[in-house]
């Protein structure tokens, strides 16, 4: 019998009040602290979905869209957007809320690739994904597009000759000075 689960079976929400101890030198919440919360919710989401211990394999781009202030309520929402054989892509959305006015700001979104592990630390199969809405289908295709794009870039990176005359001449288009000793 094949094993499938709904996206809703993976959803996790985490809310936390931002304290002065979470701030950086400019008085905003430290990005590293938010990344730590994102990693925690990705682990919880993937483990809940797979029923296995999960590890972070990669993190796609994290763009910090707006700073988070001390005293705001930060909410992270996550769900499995894609399930492969042993890996899952967990989508995470981070918002901050002014608890006095109720105003909510989107702070960032990211995608964590998580891998399920068995008791011996080997990669372990995960359930297939049941898509129940067009929004879930869109998220699945977006994850698939990012996965395929990453594979294409790996092929290009493996075959690109960084020492070719053309590659070195192309560096003139950047804010660098090339001083390579023969």
* Tens of pLDDT, residues 13-42: 999 999 999 999 999 999 999 999 999 999
Q: Tokens 């964590």 — which residue?
A: 112
d(CA 159, CA 178): 22
pLDDT value at residue 93: 97
| Range list of β-strands (E), the chain | 4-6, 12-17, 53-59, 73-83, 87-97, 104-117, 128-130
Q: What is the mean pLDDT of the chain?
A: 94
Residue 70 backbone dihedrals phi, psi, to 5 degrees: -60, 140
| Residue 1 pLDDT grade (very low, low, confident, very high; cuts 50, 70, 90) | very low
Summarised one tens digit per residue, pLDDT across range 58-85 is 999 898 999 999 999 999 999 999 999 9
Strand positions, DSSP E, 60-178: 73-83, 87-97, 104-117, 128-130
* Percentage of residues in the chain having pLDDT higher than 90: 80
- Residues 132-142 have a mean pLDDT of 97
Question: Which bin fits 121, alpha (ψ -120 to 50), beta or left (φ > 0)?
Answer: left
pLDDT at residue 2, as a whole number: 64
Q: How many CB atoms lie within 10 A of CB 177?
A: 7
Measured distance CA(173)–CA(169) in Å, rounded: 8
What DSSP element (H or E) covers 124? none
Domain positions in the chain: 4-130
Is the pLDDT assigned to residue 181 strictly greater than 90? no
Please identify, in words, the CATH class of the domain defined by 4-130.
alpha beta
Provide CB contacts within 8 A for 65, sequence distance 6+: 106, 107, 108
Q: How would you class 23 by CB atoms within 10 Å of its CB: exposed for 0-12, middle for 13-18, buried for 19 or more?
A: middle
Instruction: Report the C-alpha gap between 116 and 47 in whole angstroms.
Output: 7
The answer to whether the CB of 108 falls within 8 A of the CB of 64 is yes
């Amino acid at each position: 019998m094949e094993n499938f689960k709904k996206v809703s079976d993976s959803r996790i929400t985490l809310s936390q009040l931002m304290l002065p101890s979470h701030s950086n030198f400019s008085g905003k919440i430290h990005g590293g602290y938010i990344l730590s919360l994102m990693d925690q919710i990705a682990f919880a989401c993937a483990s809940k979905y797979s029923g296995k211990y999960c590890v972070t394999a990669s993190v796609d781009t994290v763009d910090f869209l707006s700073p988070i202030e001390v005293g705001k309520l930060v909410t992270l929402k996550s769900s499995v957007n894609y399930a492969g054989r042993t890996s899952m892509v967990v989508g995470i959305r981070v918002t901050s809320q002014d608890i006095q006015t109720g105003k909510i700001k989107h702070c960032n979104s990211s995608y964590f690739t998580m891998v399920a592990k068995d008791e011996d630390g080997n990669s372990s199969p995960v359930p297939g994904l049941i898509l129940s809405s067009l929004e879930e289908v869109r998220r699945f295709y977006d994850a698939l597009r990012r996965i395929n794009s990453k594979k294409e870039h790996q092929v290009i990176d493996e075959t690109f000759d960084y020492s070719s005359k053309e590659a070195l001449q192309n560096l003139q288009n950047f804010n660098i000075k090339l001083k390579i000793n023969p």
